[in-house]
Amino acid sequence: MISKNYFRVILAGLAAWLLAGSIAQATVLLGWDTQGVLDPKAASFAVDFVEEGIVVSSLVRGPGLGTTGTAAANTFFASGFNVSELSEAMLGGHWWEFGLTVDNTLSLDLSALGVNIRRSGNGPDSWQWGVSVGEGAFELIGLPMNSVTSAGNGEALATLDLSQISFLQELTDTSLTFRLYGWGGTTAAGTGSIGRLDGYDLWVSGIATPAPIPEPSTMVALMGLAVLVLTCVRKRCRV
């Protein structure tokens, strides 16, 4: 006969596994910190932190941006946001861009996206996130954001909640490309840089869990097994 304690261990383990899945907390999955950047005008900026199982492409400028003017230290710098509409920014390459690929060992539920912007007085004051899944077209996510502060150390734009965007949940064996479109600069020399507050200046948070995730039918089967085991213990059945 299998002992009652043995069954209790099985049940406790099963309960712990189910509980762990239900209370997982979002953490930063990838982040860039501009503090200490050696060349704010470099062609790209490598990620500072990335969760294991995710591959990130470097942060780059869109083809409509340049590096005219003096770059503030501890930023990733760009000029040329002098278009007046989002549509012009989208058509003209006035964006920051980075991408990520998640392999088939992980499932990602994205939670939030944030960025710090340090702009000049004649730089861009309006921003909008977009994303492409796989090779798909770019889709706008969230609402346009404003950067009010110029010069100084910049400011954090409104954090974008990704948790309610269904196509950014349960991501596995796929790739994403994010773009931050900027517009509203009044001259070509106006600058819009990433940085330069404490901590990460560009980041994505979410929950990464091992894949494959058990299907609901599997969860039901496991719950049924637990009930069966418990019933067996109570009846002191022999196995």
Stretch that binds Ca ion, among 62-70, 159-167, 176-184, 200-208 (CB under 5 A): 200-208
125 binds Ca ion (CB under 5 A): no
Alpha-carbon distances, residue 148 vs 28, 45, 69, 197 (angstroms): 26, 25, 21, 15
| Total H helices, total E strands in the chain | 3, 13
Stretch that binds Ca ion, among 25-33, 156-164, 169-177, 227-235 (CB under 5 A): 25-33
- E strand or H helix that includes residue 89: helix 86-92
Pick the closer one to Ca ion by CB: 61 or 196. Answer: 196
Task: Please classify residue 204 by burial: count the beta carbons closer than 10 Å to its beta carbon, then call 0-12 exposed, 13-18 middle and 19+ buried.
Answer: buried
CB of 155 to Ca ion, least distance (A): 12
The distance in angstroms from the start CA to the end CA of the chain is 6
67 binds Ca ion (CB under 5 A): no
Pick the closer one to Ca ion by CB: 35 or 159. Answer: 35
Q: By three-state DSSP, how is residue 139 classified? A: strand
Euclidean distance between CA atoms 174 and 135, whole angstroms: 10
**CB-hemisphere CA count at 13 Å for 175?**
12
35 binds Ca ion (CB under 5 A): yes
Pick the closer one to Ca ion by CB: 122 or 205. Answer: 205
Pick the closer one to Ca ion by CB: 54 or 194. Answer: 194
CB of 180 to Ca ion, least distance (A): 16
Pick the closer one to Ca ion by CB: 35 or 68. Answer: 35
DSSP 25: -
Contacting residue, 32, 33, 106, 206, with Ca ion by CB under 5 A:
33
Which residues does 234 contact at the CB level (< 8 Å), separation at least 6? none
Distance of CA 231 to the CA centre of its chain: 45
Pick the closer one to Ca ion by CB: 51 or 201. Answer: 201
Of the candidates 132, 229, 122, which has an alpha carbon nearest to the alpha carbon of residue 186? 122
CB of 58 to Ca ion, least distance (A): 17
Structure tokens at 130: 């977009």
Contacting residue, 51, 97, 125, 201, with Ca ion by CB under 5 A:
201
CB of 145 to Ca ion, least distance (A): 19
Stretch that binds Ca ion, among 119-127, 161-169, 197-205, 214-222 (CB under 5 A): 197-205
Pick the closer one to Ca ion by CB: 35 or 67. Answer: 35
- Binding residues (CB under 5 A) for Ca ion: these are 33, 35, 201
